[in-house]
Amino acid sequence: MAPELKKIDLLLSEKRIKLHIFEPSQRNIWTVVGTEKEYWFDPDLDFCSCPGYYFNNKCYHLDNFPLAMSQNQIESTTFSDDEYGPFIGSLLSEL
Ligand SMILES: [Zn+2]
């Protein structure tokens, strides 16, 4: 398998795209697990904090997001709103 396809395959089969839902407000945060760390990812804003997006405005996470959605290869987790602040804090500290 070509390296590019392998990356895409892992992205989907390992459900590296993660949806975090905060209750009861229903706020959503998306992240994607990269090779070295977890990135903040926002399909609505067409944004990803990975190096590919940063340097080239090109990101295979965003490119393959519709595919992951259509195949239901996304992991979603529910949190309480109390955890929203600390969650954002730890996410931003890694950027
Ligand atoms: Zn990305």
**Distance of CA 53 from the midpoint of ligand 1 (Å):** 6
Query: Distance of CA 36 to CAs 24, 58, 91, Å?
Result: 32, 18, 14
Q: Using the predicted structure, report yes or no on whether residue 4 has a pLDDT greater than 90.
A: no
**Distance of CA 26 from the midpoint of ligand 1 (Å):** 24
**Distance of CA 86 from the midpoint of ligand 1 (Å):** 23
Distance CA 28, CA 19 (A): 7
Contacts 24+ apart (CB under 8 A), 44-51: 49/95
**Distance of CA 52 from the midpoint of ligand 1 (Å):** 6
* Residue-level pLDDT at 23: 98
Q: Per-residue confidence at 12, pLDDT binned at 50, 70, 90? A: very high
Q: Using the predicted structure, report yes or no on whether residue 36 has a pLDDT greater than 90.
A: no
Distance CA 74, CA 21 (A): 13
> pLDDT digit string (tens) for 40-91?
999 999 999 999 999 999 999 999 999 999 999 999 999 999 999 999 999 8
Work out the number of other CB atoms within 10 angstroms of the CB of residue 22.
18
Sequence ranges of the domains in the chain = 3-14+21-93
Mean pLDDT of 17-40: 94
